[in-house]
């Protein structure tokens, strides 16, 4: 008789003869095997449920532990605001203690050291897509994000733009192909008033895309070898502060005035940008109140709360002395007593001065813009390399930093409003006054 539960098995074992069991181990094994099968048959569903429940609980615990392990900061790693765990250089976080350690390791004068060679093997990177040998040493994401965080303090466009992480060299970004709101919105969506149970009229939006194509921005400098050998701490300060500011400067210049050929397309050259014509009889290199009022009127109404004035510092004398004509008299636009700072707002929106805007009298010297409509494509890779060969006779080391980035406006054309003849845009500039 085969036992079907633990009580029957215990009863049979107590009644069994130990000598008989020893003499017939095969028979005893068959008894245990049959009991196991009978138990599973009787309690199979219950066991399956318990196993499934325990398995799910175990997997949940493993998932929580894995999530905590991924989210937990790696020891010694500095996570800046712009850090991206998916960036290429993230796998190198923790390899270097700080930027000084990275700089010391990548300098050619230290690359013969065994401990440096092991790290260099991990960060070598063929960076060029056209010339594979045009590479360098991949900068860990923790250091790259720290450099960019410093750069954001002086960057004008990037800190206000919509930044798109790029996982490949070319990234298409979706956009609505909207040119007019006169009869439809969002490039083709039309609303109809219909009677109850009447047939619905079909409409659809027209979608387009903005292609972000990573361009190479290269920073280059020549450093005396004595600085590396005797005062690398000083050079680390240069790398940590001046280089990010330089990168931010040249990014901004391209984001303002880039042609789109081998460099980003600046918002001043964008097809979607609109120009406000000068007033009749307006003198060259001047700004009058009417210029600004008409520029304000060309802004997308939904962008007014986010728009800012961006002007070259050359324009300040014109703005500070600007007057609003009232009949035969007038009043100053900016009221200042000469002791305190001028109120840096125009029509309630902030005014920012930058040398990247064009000079007084040219198109783009003062602009009214909503930079959230500007896309910055960030490849999220940065490399640095040093070479003793180019300036060998001068005992100098050539240092090169490369990042890849693109930028272009989100809208492709200015928008014709539902009512009115003047097109609207998030990028408005005052035309040439010559």
Indicate whether 50 belongs to any domain.
yes
419 in any annotated domain: no
The pLDDT value given to residue 246: 83
User: Could you read off the pLDDT of 296-309 as tens digits, one per residue?
Assistant: 999 999 899 999 99
pLDDT attached to residue 361: 95
**Of 153, 150, 152, whose CA–CA distance to 163 is shortest?**
152
> In this structure, is residue 32 part of a structural domain?
yes
* CA-based nearest residue to 380, from 108, 80, 106: 80
Residue 41 pLDDT? 58
Task: Classify residue 30: in a domain, yes or no.
Answer: yes
362 part of a folded domain: no
Would 179 be classed as within a structural domain? no
Show the low-confidence residues of the chain (pLDDT under 70). Answer: 1-29, 31-153, 176-178, 180-190, 192, 200-207, 227-241, 328-329
Contact 252, 259 (CB under 8 A): no
Q: Are 35 and 9 in contact (CB under 8 A)?
A: yes
d(C-alpha 74, C-alpha 83), whole Å: 13
Let me know if residue 34 belongs to a domain. Answer: yes
pLDDT value of position 353:
94
pLDDT recorded at residue 69: 42
Q: Does residue 39 lie within any of the structural domains? A: yes
Enumerate residues 6+ apart whose C-beta is below 8 A from 127.
134, 135, 136, 138, 381, 383, 402
Range of the domain at 6: 1-54
How many domains does the chain divide into?
1
Q: What is the pLDDT of residue 314?
A: 95
Res 66: pLDDT = 43
Predicted confidence at residue 381, as pLDDT, reads 74
């Amino acid at each position: 008789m085969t036992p079907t539960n633990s009580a029957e098995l215990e009863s049979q074992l107590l009644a069994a003869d130990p000598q008989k069991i020893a003499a017939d181990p095969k028979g005893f094994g068959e008894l245990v095997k049959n009991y196991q099968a009978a138990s599973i048959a009787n309690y199979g569903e219950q066991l399956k449920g318990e196993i499934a429940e325990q398995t799910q609980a175990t997997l949940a615990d493993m998932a929580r532990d894995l999530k905590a392990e991924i989210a937990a900061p790696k020891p010694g790693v500095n996570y800046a605001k712009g850090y991206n765990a998916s960036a290429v250089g993230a796998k190198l976080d923790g390899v270097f203690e700080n930027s000084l350690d990275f700089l010391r390791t990548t300098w050619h004068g230290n690359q013969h050291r065994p401990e440096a060679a092991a790290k260099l093997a991990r960060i070598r990177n063929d960076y060029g897509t056209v010339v594979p040998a045009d590479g360098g040493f991949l900068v860990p994401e923790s250091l790259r994000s720290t450099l960019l965080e410093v750069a954001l303090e002086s960057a004008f466009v990037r800190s206000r733009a919509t930044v798109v992480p790029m996982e490949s060299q070319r990234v298409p970004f979706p956009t609505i192909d909207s040119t007019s709101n006169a009869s439809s919105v969002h490039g083709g969506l039309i609303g109809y008033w219909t009677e109850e149970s009447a047939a619905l009229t079909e409409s659809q939006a027209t979608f387009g895309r903005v292609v972000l194509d990573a361009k190479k921005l290269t920073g280059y400098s020549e450093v005396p070898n004595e600085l590396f050998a005797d005062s690398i701490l000083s050079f680390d300060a240069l790398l940590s502060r001046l280089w990010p500011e330089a990168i931010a400067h040249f990014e901004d210049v391209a984001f303002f005035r880039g042609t789109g050929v081998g460099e980003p397309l600046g918002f001043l050259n964008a097809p979607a940008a609109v120009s406000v014509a000068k007033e009749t009889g307006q003198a060259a290199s001047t700004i009058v109140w009417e210029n600004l009022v008409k520029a304000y009127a060309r802004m997308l109404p939904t962008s007014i709360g986010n728009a800012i004035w961006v002007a070259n510092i050359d324009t300040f004398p014109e703005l500070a002395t600007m007057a609003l004509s009232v009949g035969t008299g007038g009043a100053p636009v900016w009221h200042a007593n000469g002791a305190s700072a001028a109120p840096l707002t125009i029509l309630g929106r902030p005014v920012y001065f930058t040398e990247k805007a064009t000079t007084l009298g040219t198109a783009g010297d003062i602009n009214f813009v909503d930079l959230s409509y500007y896309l910055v494509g960030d490849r999220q890779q940065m490399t640095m390399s040093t070479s003793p060969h180019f300036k060998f006779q001068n005992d100098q080391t050539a240092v090169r930093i490369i990042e890849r980035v693109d930028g272009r406006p989100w809208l492709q054309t200015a928008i014709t409003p539902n009512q009115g003849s003047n097109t609207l845009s998030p990028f408005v500039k005052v035309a040439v006054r010559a």
